[in-house]
Every structure is written in structure tokens, then in C-alpha cells.
Amino acid sequence: LVQSLVSLEDAEANITHSVRSTIGGRLGASIRSTTELVGGSATTAGEGTPLLTKGGGVAVVEPEASALTVWIWPALTCAAMYAFYNIFIKKGSYTIHPILGGVVLQFVAALLGTVLLLIVRKVEGPESLQYDRNGLLWSFWAGIAVGTAELLSFTVSGMGVPATQSIPIIIGGSVMFGAVLGLIILGEVLMLHGWFGVALLVSGIAMVATDPGEKVEEGGGGDDDEEAPPLLVWIVPALICASAYAFYNIFIKKGSASINPILGGVILQFVAALFGSILLGILTLKEGNIDYLNVDMMGFIWACCAGLAVGSAELLSFTVSGMGVNATQSIPIIIGGSVMFGAVLGLVMLGEQLMLQGWLGVTALMIGIGFVATDPGEKVAGH
């Protein structure tokens, strides 16, 4: 009997040791697989939660979407900042080279983000600035995308295209591309309720874009007699710009669960500024001088204002995405909202007045925002 008890105790000890070793080994491997060593210290994803699965791996679960009343206000503020950004670009586009304007505004945005980053680090401590490799990578690609979009936006505005046409085309295109990319890359699907809202947004944008309007006073700083180029000349760079903005929003969504929003915003801003600086250097080497860089003080000031506006918008965009809001909801809200605010700012700051058709379009935008914001949506498996 004693020998049997001893044998049972030995067997229990062996089983316990085996289970502990297995669980410990798998858990350690799982933690190492989702932890990046940065500067000799482990830094985990900002919002994702690692969970041990049956296979011994880790599933990083994105945060649940916040309530509408929580995220709609930063999203609409973000939309307003994008509207100011587009108006400032239009104001300065006649008096500064588009690449130089893009570089200036991104460095200003990066400096704004850096100041906020230092404040957060001081108040909340360095441990609040969480990130991992995925967060850094997607922030980098977001910077490339938004840098490309901003250079093209300056280029289109500099062609003499009215802001009441170019901005809705660029923004409407990014809604369209964003809905497709949200499905393909993120696996986010809107329900019928949401697609009806997107249809209202696209219809509203089209109505605003084709509104004949009238000019109260010249606000762009360019030649009053300058005619807008034919549609076929500027529509291609405008749509490329729209697709770049859509990719930018998708990349932000991909990285938002893995990096502090302010840190992500600062990284993408510096990447965009460096990207523009490289293009500027290549162009200068090709020209052999800097005489082509037409710029005056007002163009420089408007570019700086655009930088402050877009810097704020990019930080808010990261924040909204970090709340777990589907890109198929947040992108139309931010973009549609920026058209709505842009219509008002275009009148106030540029003297570009909408007619009845345009204001009906703005009304459709507001209704569409409500439909998309309240769409329950669904997540396709495997994304």
C-alpha cells in the first residue's frame, strides 16, 4: 500500500511538472511572438490584447468599438480640421510650389505632434507611449500615402481648379476607394443601412461638386482671370490623390491598435515630410537651381496653417481608429463631414458660394453621416 501511494505521488509530480513546462513554454513563446524588443525593453501593442489560443499561439484582439456618442465628436472635429486644411491649401496654392508647400506643412504638423508627444510623456510617463513593430510599419506607410496625397492636392489646387470642385472630387473619391479597401484589406462590411448612407454621401458630394455656384470675392490669391483647366486634365491626379487618402486612412486603421495615437501621428508626419524633401531634392538636382520654387510669404504662411490643421486631423484620426471604430464608418464620417464644413468655410474664407443644388448636397451629406454612423456593420472572418 505504501509503495502504491509513493508511486501515485511520483506520477502526480511528473504530470504537474510536464503540464507546467508545456504551458510555460507555450506562453513564453506566445508572449515573445507578440512582443517587440525596443532598446532592450519589451513593448507590447497599445490597444491589442494577447490571448493564449488552443494551438499555443496568441490572438491579438482589437478593442471593441466605442459608443457613438464617444467617437462621433472627435471624428467631426477631425473632419473640421481636414476642411480647414483643404481651404488653407487652396489659399496658398498659387504662391508656393506644390512640393515645397507639402514639405512645409508636414514639418509643421510633425513639430505640432512632437510638442504634444513631449507633453503626454511628461504628464503620463514614457510607459504611455506604447507601440510595436506593426504599429511603426503601418505609421510609415500612412506617412508615404498622406505625403503623396498632400503633394497632389497642392498640385490640383495650383492648376486653378475651384475648391468647390476639387475638394468634393478628392473627398468623394476617397469615400469610394475607402469602402472598397475597408472590405478587401480590413474585412469590414457595411450593412444595407450603412451602404444607403454611403450612397447619400456620394450623391451629396456629386451635387456639391457640380454646383455652378458663384464667386463673391477672390480668396485664392491668384489671377482673377485664370480659367480652370479642362476636367480631363485635373481629374486623374485628383483621383490618384483620393486613392492615396483612402490608403492613408486604411493604414492608420491597421496600425491604430498597436501604437499610441500621438506617436503614430508624429511618425507618419515626419515620414511624409522626409518623403517630400527627397522629391524636392531630386527635382532641384534635375533643375540645377532653386529658381523654380516660386514662393512668397503668404504662400509660406498658408502652408504652415495647413500643417497645423492636418497635424491635428491626423492625430484625431489615429485616436478615432484606436477606439475600435470600423474604417467603413469612420472614413465616410470624417470625409463627408469635411465636405460639409468645407462648404461653409469655402463661403466664409474663399468667397465661393453654393447655390440651392449645393446646399441640398450638404443636406444629403448630413443625413448620410447619420446613416453610416449608426450602421452596425460586421467583420469578415480571417481579417
Task: Give the tens place of pLDDT for each residue, 279-316.
Answer: 889 988 988 888 778 788 888 999 999 999 988 888 88
Query: Which pLDDT score is estimated for 308?
Result: 92
Looking at residue 337, its pLDDT comes to: 82
Write the pLDDT tens digit of every residue in 105-123: 989 999 998 998 899 888 8
List Cβ neighbours of 251 (8 Å cut-off, separation of 6 or more): 138, 139, 141, 142, 145
What's the burial of 125, exposed, middle or buried (CB within 10 Å: 0-12/13-18/19+)? exposed
Distance from the first to the final alpha carbon of the chain: 58
User: What is the pTM for the complete model shown?
Assistant: 0.68
Q: What is the mean pLDDT of the chain?
A: 75
Work out the pLDDT band at 267, boundaries 50, 70, 90: very high
pLDDT of res. 49: 42
Q: Between vectors from CA 171 to CA 102 and to CA 70, what angle results, nearest 5°?
A: 100
Residue whose grid cell is 478587401: 184
Return the amino acid letter for 212: P
Percentage, residues of the chain above pLDDT 70:
76
CA angle 99, 104, 105 (to 5 degrees): 100
Counting beta carbons within 10 angstroms of the beta carbon of residue 75, is it exposed (0 to 12), middle (13 to 18) or buried (19 or more)?
Answer: buried
Burial class (CB in 10 A: 0-12, 13-18, 19+), 212: exposed
Most confident range, picked from 27-31, 42-46, 313-317? 313-317
Which is nearest to 307 in space by CA: 345, 274, 273, 330?
273
45: pLDDT confidence band, cut at 50, 70 and 90?
very low
More confident residue, 223 or 263: 263
With 70 as the cut, is the pLDDT of residue 201 above it?
yes
Rounded CA separation 305/87 (Å)? 10
- Nearest 5°: CA angle at 123, between 40 and 319? 80
Q: What are 99's three cell numbers?
A: 512640393
Q: How confident is the model at residue 228 (pLDDT cuts 50, 70, 90)?
A: low
Answer whether residue 259 shows pLDDT above 60.
Answer: yes
The DSSP result for 265-293, as a single string, is HHHHHHHHHHHHHHHHHHHHHHHSSSTT-
Residue 360 is placed in which grid cell? 441640398
